[in-house]
Amino acid sequence: MSKMIKTFLSFVTAFTLAFALVPTAFADSHTEEEQDIVEIALGNENFSILVSALQRADLVETLQGDGPFTVFAPTNQAFMDLLEALDVTAEELLAQPDLANVLTYHVVPGKVLAGDLTDGLEADTVNGQAVTFDLSGDPMVNDSMIVDTDIEASNGVVHVIDKILVPDNFELQEVDMEEDDVPETGIESSSILLFGMISAAAAFIFVLVHKPTKQ
């Protein structure tokens, strides 16, 4: 084995151990209290692209606020399906000027549990437009199925959905991609997930460092 390969493997091992030890170092301050919405997303690998999008739209600190908020959280697969439908790359999607508008369309003010939903209910989202619920069959919000419900957080609740909610006023725009804007991810799922995981790890450390401690 060449010296370069050994050095690379040593770096990967050290990098992995460093991130593995971060949650342990902060375990005492986080196990005794309920996680907020951002921490729940960071703790679920199926939300790694969502975390990347929240970072890019500068919404991480907002969703760490007191709330309460109800978040309809799309999975990584939901993001990949949207990339294919729009025929864009992950870089182009995350660089959209309207990204925050799309993400806040997934957030309803207040805490809305599954038991509070009724067929035909309309709820205003943070971006000002309403979403509609259909409970006549599988529970739906607009055209997205609600696949998991009532993941309670310290500042609200998370419901998992299988499709991105796209507001009526969203228009895909051409964006000039600079080389240093975002790492190249392409549309391959493994690359997108890697980008999401790296961004999620960075956000996780940011949350731990900046989260206020209770006296």
Q: Taking a C-beta distance cutoff of 8 angstroms, is the pair 120, 141 a contact?
A: no
Q: Which CATH number do you get for residue 181? A: 2.30.180.10
Reduce the DSSP state of residue 6 to 3 states and report it. Answer: helix
**Between residues 54 and 6, the one the model is more confident about:** 54
Q: Taking a C-beta distance cutoff of 8 angstroms, is the pair 144, 164 a contact?
A: yes
Q: For residue 197, tell me if it sits in a domain.
A: yes
For residue 207, pLDDT over 50 is answered with no
For residue 7, pLDDT over 90 is answered with no
Q: What mean pLDDT do residues 155-169 have? A: 95
Bond from prior residue into 68 cis (ω within 30 degrees of 0): yes
Q: What is the pLDDT of residue 1?
A: 53
Q: What's the domain count of the chain?
A: 1
Q: For residue 22, tell me if it sits in a domain.
A: no
The parent domain of residue 191 ranges over 34-210
Strand order in the sheet with 130-134: 107-109, 69-74, 156-161, 144-153, 140-141, 130-134, 122-124
Q: What is the pLDDT of residue 15?
A: 43
Q: For residue 125, tell me if it sits in a domain.
A: yes
